Chain A
Amino acid sequence: GDSVTQMEGPVTLSEEAFLTINCTYTATGYPSLFWYVQYPGEGLQLLLKATKADDKGSNKGFEATYRKETTSFHLEKGSVQVSDSAVYFCALSDRGSQGNLIFGKGTKLSVKP
């Protein structure tokens, strides 16, 4: 079945460092891809999404490009802030299962001042 694999954390960076969190997927069709963020003690919030190949999702300085040839959707940010400390989840929409989302295991990011 469809699946999502994302890099294991935790990831620790200094403020203003460049961030990459890798995400690859396995899917039989053409899923939509998402990045969600979870701050401590809260639910998940949608960060960005892409619905077809070569689409770039972006929000709050974060970007991710839907790469069909490498089945990837890596999350990047040029200069992280302490407030970006959170857990990041990559997800795909499984069209074969009524569009239910399949999540990666999450990557915890800590940004130090």
Chain B
Amino acid sequence: DGGITQSPKYLFRKEGQNVTLSCEQNLNHDAMYWYRQDPGQGLRLIYYSQIVNDFQKGDIAEGYSVSREKKESFPLTVTSAQKNPTAFYLCASRKGMDSPLHFGNGTRLTVT
């Protein structure tokens, strides 16, 4: 079955360390997205990519970086510059602009 895989489900890091969250999809979707979810704040867009080797900043890109070297993969790096990295991170993809988003099951990152 096609879908989006995020790993790991839970991630713990010490403050000051960079950490990379994995997102892989086998849906043959062109566009991929990273969202951050905090209690009571809904979803906020971090980065998105419409095509391989191209990506754009979303609303809260500071302290994050991404790459899109393959269509299937869109890893997110949370750098030490991100002030409040502890959150639930969701990866999503879709075929085209008017298509619905498909989400992975998320990675819960805790930084202490």
Identify the A interface with B (CB < 8 A).
32, 34, 36, 41-46, 49, 51, 89, 93, 95, 98-101, 103-106
B61 within 8 A of A: no
Known A-B contacts A34-B100, A93-B98; A42 and B43 likewise in contact (beta carbons under 8 Å):
no
Number of A-B residue pairs at CB separation under 8 A:
50
Are B98 and A32 in contact (CB-based, < 8 A)?
yes
Contacts of B6 in A (CB 8 A): 43
Are A42 and B105 in contact (CB-based, < 8 A)?
yes
Are B58 and A100 in contact (CB-based, < 8 A)?
yes
- Tell me which residues from 55 to 112 in chain B have a Cβ below 8 Å from any Cβ of chain A: 56, 58, 90, 92, 96-98, 100-106
Contacts of B56 in A (CB 8 A): 98
Chain A residue nearest to B90 in the complex (CB): A43
Q: Which of B97, B98, B104 contacts A43 (CB 8 A)?
A: B104
10 CB contacts below 8 A, A to B, read: A42-B105, A43-B103, A43-B105, A43-B106, A45-B103, A46-B100, A46-B101, A93-B97, A98-B50, A100-B58
B53 within 8 A of A: no
Are A100 and B100 in contact (CB-based, < 8 A)?
no
Contacts of B104 in A (CB 8 A): 43
Are B103 and A99 in contact (CB-based, < 8 A)?
no
| Smallest beta-carbon distance A35→chain B, Å | 10
Contact with A along B22-60 (1 / 0, CB 8 A): 000000000001000000111101001010000010100
A-B contact sample (5 more), CB < 8 A, given A42-B106, A99-B98: A42-B105, A98-B97, A100-B33, A105-B40, A105-B41
Contacts of A105 in B (CB 8 A): 40-42
Q: Which of A42, A45, A100 has the most CB of B within 10 A?
A: A100
Instruction: Tell me the complex Cα distance, A32–B97, Å.
Output: 10
Instruction: Tell me the complex Cα distance, A32–B98, Å.
Output: 8
Are A100 and B48 in contact (CB-based, < 8 A)?
yes
Are B90 and A103 in contact (CB-based, < 8 A)?
no
